[in-house]
Amino acid sequence: MVDRKKKDVVVTNMKEEYIGHSIEVTPFADSEIEGGSLSMGSLEDGGPAGAVPTQMTVSVEEGIEEGAEMEVVEMKHSPEKKRKVRIYSQKFRKEWIHLKEFQGWLTEGITDDRAHCTVCDKELLAGKSELIKHSRGKKHRTLAAKSNPNPPPVQHGLSRVIDEDGMPHLLRIVDLRSDTVTQPSREMKKAMMEATLGDDVFSEDPTVKTLEDRVAQMLQKEAALFVPSGTMANLICVMTHCWGRGSEAIVGDQSHLHLWAQGGMAQIGSVHHRTIKNLPDGTFSLNEVRGLVRDEHDAQSPLTSLICVENPHHNAGGKAIPLNWMDELGAMCSELGLPLHCDGARLINASVALGTSPARIVQACDSVSLCLNKGLGAPMGSLVIGTKEFIAKAKRLRKVLGGGLHQSGIVAAAGLWALDHVAPRLSWDHTHARALAQSVCEEHSSAVTVNLKDVHTNVVLLHCDNIRVNAKKLCQRLASVTDEESEELSEQIVVMALAISDTTVRLVTHCDIRKEDVRSATRKLKCLKYSCR
C-alpha cells in the first residue's frame, strides 16, 4: 500500500556548478514514486561575490513505502549531465529475514539502507522488491542450490547451515566453549608470514628467541622456552623439578594438572603426586600443605619435590588468586626448601583482573607456564619460564617428548603479535563475561544461577539446579533454536557452551567475541526463561 504525499527533502552540499540545472529523480524499484523533476531555479543565490548556499529544500511528490525514511542526500557530480538523485532510502527491516523468499541468505548490510546476500556475498539495496528480484536471479539461485560436499565447519559468527529438511538457516553462532577457539586475525597472519625464520632445533630461529626473551623479561625470570602446548609446558615443568627418581608433587585437587592432563605426570613423567583440597577461591590451606610434605628419611615415602599452583584457577571459575596468598605460599615453599611452579595458562588475565604486572604475581614462583593459544588468541603454543639452568633441562625434555619444532618462528610470531595487540584488550573479555553473567542474574531464575562476584576474568560458570535443568540440557538448549525464540529475537542465535560437570556450564569469552555477539548471547540467555521455568 503506497501513501502518496508531498515530502520535503533537504538536499545539502550544493555546489555552485549545480545551480540552475535540473535534476531528475529516479524512481526506486520497490516504490511507486513518480518521477518528478526538480528545478533549482527557485534558489536564491547570494551572487558571485557572496557565499553560495549549500542547501535547499525541494518538494517532491512521491509514494513512499511505510518504513522508508528520508535521508539527506549529498549532491556531487558533473553539472553537464542530468543527475539521477536518490531522494530517500528504504531501511533494512529485520522481519524480512523470516520471509520465505529471504530465508537463509538475507542479512543486514553494512549501512542501514543496505542488505547483504550471504550466498552471493554481495551488498544490495534494502528494498523489498529489489531483494525479491535478486533472489530470483539466475546467479543467486545457482549459488544457493550448489551443495557443498565439504562445507566449512560451523564456526563462530554468521553461518549458513542446511537443516535435515534441506531448509537453509542463517545462524549467529557465539562460540563460548573455550578461549582456545580463537582464530588468528589477518594482521596476526601477516606478522606470521613476515617473521624471520630459522631452525629452532639448531637454536637458530630468531623469532622464537625474541618471543622467549620477551616473555622471560615480562615475568622477570632468566629464560623461557617455546613449546607446542600448555599440557607440554606443565609436564616439562613438573618433570624438570622432579628430575630424580621417586619424586612427588603436591597439586590442587581441582587443578588442570590433576584433572585434565591425562595423568601425564605419572604416565610420562613417573612422578607421583598428592592432592590438596582447593578452596572456592582457587587457593588451598597452607597448613594442610605442610602436613602433606614427606619425611625424606622415611623409605616408604616418595620425596616431595614440588608444589604447584594454578593462577587464575580455571575450575573455580577463572578466579585470580589473591596476591598476598601467592606471596605467603612462596614464603612457605622457600622455608620448606621446595620449588613452586605456577600453571599460568591464563596468567595475563589474572594480571588484568588484579591490576598488577604478571611478574609481580609470579615473583615467588620458580617456574611458570603461560599459554599463547588461549585468551591471547595465537593459533598454538605455550611457554615454560624459569632460570637458565631450569630452561636448559626443560629444553632437553622438550626434545625427547617430541616438542622440538623446526621453523616454529612462524607460530612464535603470532605469540609476539598477541602480546602486543591482544593482551592490551583482555579487559574487554572480562567485561563481556560480566555482561553475560549479569544477564543471567537479572532473570532471577532459580533454575540457572551465577554469582557475579565470582566472575574475575573471562570465565562464567552457570550453575543448574539439576531439577528443572541440568548442565547437559542447558548446553543443548543454548545450542538450539526454537521457532518462538526465533520470532521473539528476530535472529537465530546459537550459543555454544561446555558442560564441565552435571550441574555446571562454562562460558568463556575471548577476542573473537564482539559486542554484537555478547548482545546476541545475552538476548538468548534471557530467552531461556521460557524453557527453564
Residues contributing to the site for other proteins (CB under 8 A): 150, 152-153, 155, 177-178, 180-184, 189, 192-193, 196-199, 201-202, 204, 206, 227-233, 235-236, 261-264, 267-268, 373, 379-381, 396, 399-408, 410-411
Nearest approach, Cβ of residue 150 and other proteins (Å): 7
CA dihedral 460, 461, 462, 464 (to 10 degrees): 180
In angstroms, how far is the first alpha carbon of the chain from the final one?
A: 42
Query: 429 Cβ partners below 8 Å, 6+ apart?
Result: 179, 349, 375, 457, 458, 509, 510, 511, 513
Nearest approach, Cβ of residue 46 and other proteins (Å): 57
- Round to whole Å and give the CA distance between 407 and 354: 36
Residue 304 or residue 382: which is nearer to other proteins going by CB? 382
Nearest approach, Cβ of residue 503 and other proteins (Å): 23
Nearest approach, Cβ of residue 236 and other proteins (Å): 8
Within a 13 Å sphere around the CA of 451, how many CA atoms are in the beta-carbon half? Answer: 10
- Round to whole Å and give the CA distance between 471 and 505: 5
Q: Is 358 helix (H, G, I), strand (E, B) or coil?
A: helix
Nearest approach, Cβ of residue 345 and other proteins (Å): 12
Nearest approach, Cβ of residue 403 and other proteins (Å): 6
Cα 38–chain centre separation: 51
Residue 259 or residue 435: which is nearer to other proteins going by CB? 259
Question: 350-366 burial by CB neighbour count: b if 16+ within 10 A, else e?
Answer: bbbbbeeebeebbebbb
For residue 493 the three cell numbers come to 542465535
- Round to whole Å and give the CA distance between 92 and 245: 70
Residue with grid cell 622467549, as numbered in its chain: 212
Nearest approach, Cβ of residue 529 and other proteins (Å): 30
- Round to whole Å and give the CA distance between 169 and 105: 8
Peptide bond into 312 cis (omega under 30): yes
Residue 115 or residue 191: which is nearer to other proteins going by CB? 191
The 8-class DSSP code of residue 318 comes to: S
Nearest approach, Cβ of residue 337 and other proteins (Å): 27
**Strand-pair category, 340-344 with 303-310:** parallel
Residue 256 or residue 523: which is nearer to other proteins going by CB? 256
Nearest residue to 422 via CA among 196, 187, 198, 219: 187
Residue 91 or residue 393: which is nearer to other proteins going by CB? 393
Nearest approach, Cβ of residue 314 and other proteins (Å): 15
- Round to whole Å and give the CA distance between 98 and 110: 19
Residue 395 or residue 523: which is nearer to other proteins going by CB? 395
Nearest approach, Cβ of residue 418 and other proteins (Å): 12
Residue 40 or residue 380: which is nearer to other proteins going by CB? 380
Residue 86 or residue 399: which is nearer to other proteins going by CB? 399
Query: 349, 356 in Cβ contact below 8 A?
Result: no
Question: Helix 128-135 crosses helix 138-145 at what angle (to 10 degrees)?
Answer: 60
Nearest approach, Cβ of residue 264 and other proteins (Å): 5
Residue 31 or residue 231: which is nearer to other proteins going by CB? 231
Residue 20 or residue 263: which is nearer to other proteins going by CB? 263
Number of separate helices (H) and strands (E) present in the chain: 17, 25
Helices (H), 246-296: 256-259, 264-267, 286-292
For residue 121 the three cell numbers come to 556475498
Nearest approach, Cβ of residue 132 and other proteins (Å): 33
Residue 20 or residue 151: which is nearer to other proteins going by CB? 151
Amino acid at 402: G
- Round to whole Å and give the CA distance between 433 and 413: 28
Residue 1 or residue 193: which is nearer to other proteins going by CB? 193
> What's phi and psi for 188, nearest 5 deg?
-65, -45
